[in-house]
A and B are shown apart, each in its own frame.
Chain A
């Protein structure tokens, strides 16, 4: 909860960090709409895809800093969408899920499954703006480190 309290204090996000181009793939339109409304104020550009195939098409015609994918969608599932996207581009992917991400008692590990298919990280819904920004920053940093490592 401490993360959320910081949002209330106004330390949530620094405007300069939010000029991302984000693709949100989620059958629940309200998530993308809220991210769009909040981050657009700070120069971010957010595109929303209600189906995995629509998102994959969007990726073909424009470039994004990061892609957010919901794991549970009608039609193509989020996990399959991640595999699909990975096959055609190296764009960082963040998975979202309303379920527990890890549950050792039931040997459920969405985080592991999503990462195995090429996602950088996973966030659990509901999440606050700050959590999203942190996940994106972490993901982009990882990407840069990887690039530098490969470049040497």
Chain B
């Protein structure tokens, strides 16, 4: 068990290394000379050269990479070109809405998608199955901002039952907090629901054709028992794998969702940083999201044995 966990964790190290190298290269290749920006317009060439040397910008690529990596490991992501604040602090201030949005989206999406996929597999070939699959293709195809505006228009502007835009922090009460996140979660989650419903259906169809399902039916297990106990547990691994991989869609989608719903999270931070060409901020957010994505998929790997004891840890 322990050795498996250690091996899986070690396997993510080279991946994280490549991610770090890619993200660092981004700043390295970024146009503009940070030393010249810091020195200001009136600086002489000597002053710029001095600042460059003091920042270590005259060092070779690998030396600078090692130095940067050392800083990152100590949670120092540099300072924003625009505000002058440390990037890690800016991320810390804005992580709550994003984290809340992503967790709520995953919960809602899994709660919707798994039953939909199970029902589609159970009613395979009927109009219910068709309807669910059409819905899934739509969820894949209609981009997140389209769904976002549609939901905000219907439930926010027309029906006035949920806030149109904005975010209420948890500290101002749970229900307002939840209310401000429901529409963004539904918009962001549509593609995730579609993805999970499809893979759940496919995995369930595979399992429902197995002999032990027939055995379970023969010994009188009810429909619900067969579907949700015997079949779903054995169909869980592909679903969990795709749920982990699909987090990439959520991360990408959150940039857009937060812009549509004016949520002050990491997504809007990214969108603003792009407009301001604030490279340290872009770098920090990309690094954080990629790290989170790798960790989520590591957890998925470790979850396999929970659903399938045959996979020895």
Q: Do A and B share a complex?
A: no
